Structure 1
Amino acid sequence: MARLLTSSAIRSLSRGLAISPTKKWGQNFVVDANTVRRIVKVANLDADDVVMEVGPGLGSLTLALIEVARHVIAVEIDPKLALALPTTVAHRAPEEHRRLTVVEADAARIKPEQMPEAPTALVANLPYNVAVPVVLHALETFPSLRKGLVMVQAEVGDRLTAGPGSKIYGVPSVKMAWYAKSRRAGSVSAKVFWPEPNVASGLVAFERIESPKANRVEVFGAVDAAFGQRRKMLRQSLKSWAGESADAVLERAGIEPTRRGESLDIAEFVALADAKEALGDAAPPPQEA
């Protein structure tokens, strides 16, 4: 069994590597072993899971993940941390360290060819400033991802899991719903981090669903337009996406033009995209000069 990192061990490693957590990459290292164990338990991993861990840092969560997963692929943007992690894991988990692969890359832009194996689960303590793009990029780029548990800023977690009609329901909520069912899975004290963040943290769990049979680009275009001017009625906000056809698209989709984006669920955004495409297909061909 791996020897998990304690608060003193993390600070010692940091000094030895001349590493200080940086705001640039949103680094807040978890220094509490009980929190790490809790995250792995709530993630509900199987022995055959291939876990994609984003931002492993000094290895607090990594050491707990390799105890239960078949393979952990740690994606780290910081070159110094990426270089140091295999040595730390080999020292503290001599029996399991071969289950780890470290990939030095930006998780918000990583491509399948950069990964040694297709991941089945995403488990990570995500930098607050990039949490949403990282989660959505992972779900879009890796169809093999079946589930995940991410630690994020509490406010971000609320937005990812919000439903229609809520004041915090918006672009992240709808796009997450395209890929997965998500839920809040608990809160995390600021005291388990070094340095302590000045915001609350929480866990978000998700399970992939079959995405709608629709043009994702058009659906997301409708979502971006609707929430780009969220205080305006759809007949106005959707003009940046559907142009002067906005009213016709709404009518064909069976959606009242006086509604606002925050009242629509993912199925209604799909209906909008389908209606726009149908109207485009029905348009007469341009007349020859």
Structure 2
Amino acid sequence: MTLLGPAEIRELAAELGVRPTKQLGQNFVHDPNTVRRIVRAAELSADDVALEVGPGLGSLTLGLLEVADKVCAVEIDPVLAKALPATVQRFAPEQAGRLHVIEGDALRVDVDQKPTALVANLPYNVAVPVVLHLLATLPSLRKGLVMVQKEVADRLVAGPGSRVYGVPSVKLAWYATAKQAGKVPPSVFWPVPNVDSGLVAFTRRETPLEETGDAEAGRKATFAVVDAAFAQRRKTLRAALAGWAGGPDAAERILRAAGVDPGARGEQLTVHDFTRIASQRQAQPSHG
């Protein structure tokens, strides 16, 4: 199979009249070795259905079709979405039947292909919402390998106590275990971004369940605590959760019942700590 190099990328873009836009976070990979590296790191098997968000001109799509059973590509740019099947037909005609293209926003479209792996070069500005939304709405997704801005990669995989540990770290940890899978230099993209990119690999695990209610209710309740704790990350949890709990005294009661120090800060807590706090609030008698 022919993978797209710089000449093919420029040629395709010229044919389509495509100019990468900052608004859509478009930076197209034009280095076949980087594509091979991403596909290798994704550890796909022949029965995987790969979900690619933002396939662009098709560099990674061609690499994924070499190893996955099917590729479902979600593309928001109508010109690129319409052109992708023709590109695959041109460069890998024998694989064209295994590509399914959905034109639309990954945060809103229905993906009916039951994908098992998310493998994507994600637009920097929507990377975190897209990963969390897809994990929330597609239970068939078991693993993933995403390329994001290095700073975002660091945040996604950070653990408690890290300076960059925050909302994305905890929310991804609700769904999956995640790790860094390498750094990608700006030179492999067109246009060249002014930041390094990072690869994040994740594997879905059982979500931490709250003691009462269903898993979705537990997730929403836990995420509300996470959002409140990090909205004022310099404050102690007693103060940061006061609005959420109905006052600092109520926050302290809930925290102590959950076995969490009210003087701690959000960045010290694991996703399980946040889950226990959410459960305790539901278990506390109301004071009013």
TM-score tier (shorter):
over 0.9
- The answer to whether residue 177 in structure 2 is matched with residue 178 in structure 1 is no
Q: How much has 1:109 moved relative to structure 2?
A: 2.5
Quote the sequence identity (%): 60
Give the match for residue 10 of structure 1: 9
1:223 is aligned to 226
Of 144, 151, 160, the residue aligned with 2:156 is 160
Q: How far apart are 1:274 and its partner, in Å?
A: 0.8
- Whether contact under 8 Å (1:55, 1:77) holds in the other structure is yes
Matched, 1:140 2:151: no
Q: d(CA) in 1 for partners of 2:46 and 2:177? A: 23
What do the CA deviations read for 1:16-69 (whole angstroms, capped 9, x no partner)?
100000001000000000000110001000100011000000000000101111
CA distance in 1, matches of 2:111, 2:157: 28
Q: Any idea what the Cα deviations from partners look like across 1:146-172, whole Å, max 9, x if unmatched? A: 000000000000000000001100000
Match of 1:191 among 176, 187, 190: 187
Aligned to 1:213: 209
Check conservation: 1:49, 1:119, Cα contact below 8 A.
yes
Q: Are 2:63 and 1:64 equivalent residues in the alignment? A: yes
Q: TM-score, normalised by structure 2?
A: 0.95
1:214-273 Cα deviation digits (max 9, x unpaired): 211110000000000000000010012111221111111111111100000111101101
Whether the 8 Å CA contact 1:109–1:137 is kept in 2: the answer is no
Match for 1:122 among 94, 118, 124? 118
1:60 counterpart letter in structure 2: S
Aligned length: 279
State whether residues 57 and 81 of structure 1, in contact with CA within 8 Å, keep that contact through their aligned partners in structure 2. yes
**Deviation string, structure 1 residues 88-112 (Cα, Å, up to 9, x no partner):** 00111111111001001111223xx
Q: Could you say which residue in structure 1 is the equivalent of 2:44?
A: 45
Aligned: 1:235 with 2:234: no
Is the 1:139–1:145 Cα contact (8 Å) retained in structure 2? Answer: yes
Segments of 4+ moved more than 4 angstroms: none
Contact 1:147 1:207 in 2 (8 A): yes
Query: How many Å separate the matches in 2 of 1:109 and 1:205?
Result: 23
CA–CA separation in structure 1 for the residues paired with 2:104 and 2:281? 37
Q: 1:267 maps to what in 2?
A: 272
Q: Return the match for 1:202 from 198, 201, 213.
A: 198
Equivalent residue letter for 2:181: A
